[in-house]
């Protein structure tokens, strides 16, 4: 490390992690990111959601016993982080418009006297109108470094551009001598360059983690029965938190109402609702009073609930970047979580018209939709496909996607099916899209078919009786296999490739896959707890539920989210290790000294009571 580094603090980091957070060690890249801060360098840190970015700037502030300023775009985010820090015994506060003059003075006096370690502020507080006085106060307090969270907001190319962020480029002039550190979860190389330039980072240490999230189990399904397919996911996660993303507000309202009627614990969320209703539903979800939020993409930023166990997309999102971002809200605690994409070709048409009416349609948006379509329609390891999309290699065979888990069924006589489809494309003149070709194959008698004379073709009705989604899925796969090509854009007509002709001539074979048909259900059903994945091994599930209930009571008493008390992972480990003494409790992942003192007695008591009851049984 360079001469300006703080060697004592570096060795304290591990200690701080253990004593304050109850963590045994660093996650990948955390140490590198923290050392850049200790060394007084600038840095750009790109780690996936749940990768542990916040610790990268929190732990150094504690280890160096200095003040750090954190720029954060959302008030709810600031509050969550400050709550969590305070619960872990770290002096932290936010300074924003929700505070009255009195409270502001108090916070200011705390950072001036050197008591605070972390101070959270909005960008406009530092750079907007009337920020001079605040900067004056801050300069006097002498923060060692500034961490800019959600730094992609500074870039026009990011998916969340915020004009206030642009002004942060002048931060260094106001606070000379500080280290500047940018953090984000999603950044293509273009956005990364933009962040460095706009913030004026000086020879920054760049830490870029892997985007793959191995604990997420990805599945893609044709949407052939939305309600049944959504219920299938919900029923696999009784009493657990999840998000269902819909494309439009109307869809949110309909689906939420239908699920509620069936007895599920759901709340809707979209931009058409009043602020008040939205806030209430979001809070209910974070406080675990509601299991499932059915939402448009308006829901998500600032939701720090770490135990989201599933994310369902009821329709395809507008880009793979968005998909990554939205599924990234699942499993932030590192435990397994399900991400299920339900899609149909009409989703892309809907997006096109939405983007057009909002003035966002462009060749780029069309290209991004095309990538999303390919991700959905291809049958290959999903982890690998996502990693490669973000420019990172992945060895495949992940064991955590529908393809690698062998959930798709091989189509019998796939080559014959492919020949039927390809010959129909040829017979109809290679100038129609998948919908029309499908209609011809299943023997429909639409106006268009009759006027084109396609009802007289030998391929008309060749696949009568085969469900439409299956035909369409097969066509998608033929495109992905390079046997068919599809024109990009609005009129995606199909034509047969060179390889396709070889298959037609019997010189080539292919394999095709079919998704399992969801079991139709009538009543509520599926309530039995089905927790059989490895993360539950050795966990006393009854004890876990008991501890979860206790956590909820404590959280409600204090007005903080349950995960601020303890994460699910910590509760599961308690229910596996069954600690009996404070010392044993301290060995549980996620139990630091402060929390052990504060919450330990109640949890140990609950564990003891559970032990006695099980003996009586
Ligand atoms: P991000 O901001 O990158 O999305 P967070 O900072 O919210 O991620 O961290 C995600 C989760 O990982 C949190 O529950 C956090 O407590 C946990 N975590 C972070 N670092 C570690 C670590 N070194 N060991 C164990 N858990 C960690
Ligand atoms: Zn896979």
DSSP 522-574: -SS---S----SGGGTT--HHHHHHHHHHHHHHHHHHTS-HHHH--HHHHHHH
Contact 126, 157 (CB under 8 A): no
Quick one: three-class SS letters along 218-235?
A: EEEEECCCHHHHHHHHHH
How many Å apart are CA 308 and CA 215, to the nearest integer? 12
Quick one: three-class SS letters along 518-535?
A: CCCCCCCCCCCCCCCCHH
Sign of the dihedral defined by the CA atoms of residues 104, 106, 111, 115, in that order? negative
The answer, yes or no, to whether any atom of ligand 1 lies below 6 A from the CB of 54, is yes
Sign of the dihedral defined by the CA atoms of residues 268, 270, 272, 276, in that order? positive
Distance 219 CA to ligand 2 centre (A): 9
The answer, yes or no, to whether any atom of ligand 1 lies below 6 A from the CB of 184, is no
Q: What is the pTM of this model?
A: 0.75
C-alpha neighbours within 13 Å on the C-beta side of residue 284: 18
How many Å apart are CA 82 and CA 536, to the nearest integer? 30
Nearest atom in ligand 1 to 47's CA: 3
- Whose Cα sits closest to atom 6 in ligand 1? 52
**Neighbouring residues of 328: CB distance < 8 A, sequence distance ≥ 6:** 48, 49, 50, 185, 186, 213
DSSP, res 442: T
Query: How far, CA to CA in Å, does 347 sit from each of 232, 305, 318, 547?
Result: 21, 28, 9, 42
Distance 243 CA to ligand 2 centre (A): 22
Distance 402 CA to ligand 2 centre (A): 7
Distance 120 CA to ligand 1 centre (A): 18
How many CB atoms lie under 10 A from the CB of residue 312?
Answer: 27
**Dihedral class, residue 52 (left if φ above 0, else alpha if ψ from -120 to 50, else beta):** left
DSSP, res 399: S
The answer, yes or no, to whether any atom of ligand 1 lies below 6 A from the CB of 26, is yes
Distance 229 CA to ligand 2 centre (A): 21
**Best residue for ligand 1 mutational test, from 26, 31, 55 (most atoms within 8 Å of Cβ):** 55
Question: What tokens were used for 493?
Answer: 């007509």
C-alpha neighbours within 13 Å on the C-beta side of residue 223: 18
The answer, yes or no, to whether any atom of ligand 1 lies below 6 A from the CB of 224, is no
Closest ligand to Cα 26? 1
Nearest atom in ligand 1 to 30's CA: 23
**Best residue for ligand 1 mutational test, from 19, 22, 50, 52 (most atoms within 8 Å of Cβ):** 52
Closest ligand to Cα 57? 1
Report how far Cα 73 is from the mean position of its chain's Cα atoms: 18
How many CB atoms lie under 10 A from the CB of residue 445?
Answer: 12
Closest ligand to Cα 18? 1
Sign of the dihedral defined by the CA atoms of residues 293, 159, 340, 493, in that order? positive
How many Å apart are CA 53 and CA 605, to the nearest integer? 34
The answer, yes or no, to whether any atom of ligand 1 lies below 6 A from the CB of 30, is yes
Nearest atom in ligand 1 to 304's CA: 7
Contact 296, 248 (CB under 8 A): yes
How many Å apart are CA 61 and CA 55, to the nearest integer? 10
SS3 content of the chain, % helix, strand, coil (to 5): 50, 10, 40
Distance 317 CA to ligand 1 centre (A): 26
The answer, yes or no, to whether any atom of ligand 1 lies below 6 A from the CB of 158, is no
Gyration radius from the chain CA atoms: 27
Domains of the chain with bracketed CATH: 7-208 (3.40.50.300), 216-407 (3.40.50.300), 410-514 (1.10.10.10), 534-616 (1.10.150.80)
The answer, yes or no, to whether any atom of ligand 1 lies below 6 A from the CB of 55, is yes
C-alpha neighbours within 13 Å on the C-beta side of residue 589: 15
Listed as ranges, residues in the chain with pLDDT below 50 are 1-5, 520-530
- Whose Cα sits closest to atom 5 in ligand 1? 52
Distance 339 CA to ligand 1 centre (A): 20
Nearest atom in ligand 1 to 149's CA: 2
Contact 178, 17 (CB under 8 A): no
Nearest CA to 143 among 78, 81, 60? 60
């Amino acid at each position: 490390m360079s001469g300006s580094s703080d060697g004592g603090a570096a060795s304290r980091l591990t200690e701080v992690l253990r004593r304050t957070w109850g963590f045994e060690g660093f996650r990948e890249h955390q140490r590198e990111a923290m050392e850049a801060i200790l060394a007084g360098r600038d840095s750009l840190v790109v780690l996936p959601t749940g990768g542990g970015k916040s610790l990268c700037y929190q732990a150094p502030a504690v280890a160096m016993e200095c003040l750090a300023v954190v720029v954060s775009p959302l008030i709810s985010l600031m509050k969550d982080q400050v709550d969590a820090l305070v619960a872990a015994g770290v002096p932290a506060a936010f300074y924003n418009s929700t505070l009255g003059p009195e409270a502001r003075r108090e916070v200011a006096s705390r950072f001036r006297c050197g008591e605070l370690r972390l101070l959270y502020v909005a960008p406009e507080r530092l750079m907007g109108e009337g920020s001079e006085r605040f900067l004056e106060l801050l300069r006097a307090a002498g923060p060692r470094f500034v961490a800019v969270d959600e730094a992609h907001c500074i870039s026009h190319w990011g998916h969340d551009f915020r004009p206030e962020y642009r002004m942060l480029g002048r931060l260094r002039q106001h606070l000379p001598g500080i280290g500047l550190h940018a953090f984000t979860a999603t950044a293509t190389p273009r956005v990364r360059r933009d962040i460095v330039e706009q913030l004026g980072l000086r020879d920054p240490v760049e830490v870029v983690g892997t985007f793959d999230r191995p604990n997420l189990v990805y599945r893609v399904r044709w949407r052939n029965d939305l309600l049944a397919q959504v219920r299938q996911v919900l029923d696999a996660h009784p009493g657990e938190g999840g998000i269902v993303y819909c494309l439009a507000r109307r869809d949110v309202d309909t689906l939420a109402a239908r699920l509620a009627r069936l007895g599920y614990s759901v709340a809707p969320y979209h931009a058409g609702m009043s602020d008040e209703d939205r806030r209430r539903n979001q809070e209910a979800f974070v406080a675990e009073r509601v299991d499932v939020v059915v939402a448009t993409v308006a829901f998500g930023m600032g939701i720090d609930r770490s135990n989201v166990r599933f994310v369902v997309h009821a329709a395809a999102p507008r880009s793979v970047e968005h998909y990554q971002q939205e599924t990234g809200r699942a499993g932030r605690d590192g435990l397994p979580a399900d991400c299920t994409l339900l899609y149909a070709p009409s989703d892309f048409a809907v997006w096109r018209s939405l983007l057009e009416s909002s003035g966002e349609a462009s060749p780029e948006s069309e290209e991004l939709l095309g990538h999303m379509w390919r991700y959905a329609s291809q049958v290959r390891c999903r982890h690998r496909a996502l990693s490669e999309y973000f420019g990172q290699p992945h060895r495949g065979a992940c064991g955590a996607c529908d393809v690698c888990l062998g959930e798709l069924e091989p189509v019998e006589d796939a080559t014959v099916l492919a020949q039927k489809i390809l010959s129909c494309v040829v017979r109809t003149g290679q100038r129609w899209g998948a919908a029309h070709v499908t209609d011809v194959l299943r023997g429909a008698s639409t106006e268009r078919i009759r006027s084109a004379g396609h009802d007289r073709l030998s391929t008309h009705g060749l696949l009568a009786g085969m469900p439409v989604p299956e035909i369409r899925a097969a066509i998608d796969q033929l495109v992905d296999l390079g046997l068919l090509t599809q024109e990009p854009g609005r009129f995606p007509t199909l034509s047969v490739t060179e390889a396709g002709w070889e298959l037609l001539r019997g010189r080539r074979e292919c394999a095709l896959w079919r998704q399992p048909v969801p079991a139709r259900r009538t009543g509520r059903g599926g309530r039995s707890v089905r927790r059989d994945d490895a993360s539950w091994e050795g966990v006393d599930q009854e004890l876990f539920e008991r501890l979860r209930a206790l956590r909820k009571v404590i959280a409600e008493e204090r007005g903080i989210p349950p995960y601020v008390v303890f994460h699910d992972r910590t509760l599961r480990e308690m229910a596996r290790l069954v600690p009996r003494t404070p010392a044993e409790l301290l060995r549980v992942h996620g139990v630091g000294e402060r929390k052990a003192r504060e919450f330990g007695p109640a949890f140990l008591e609950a564990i003891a009571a559970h032990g006695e009851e099980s003996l009586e049984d």
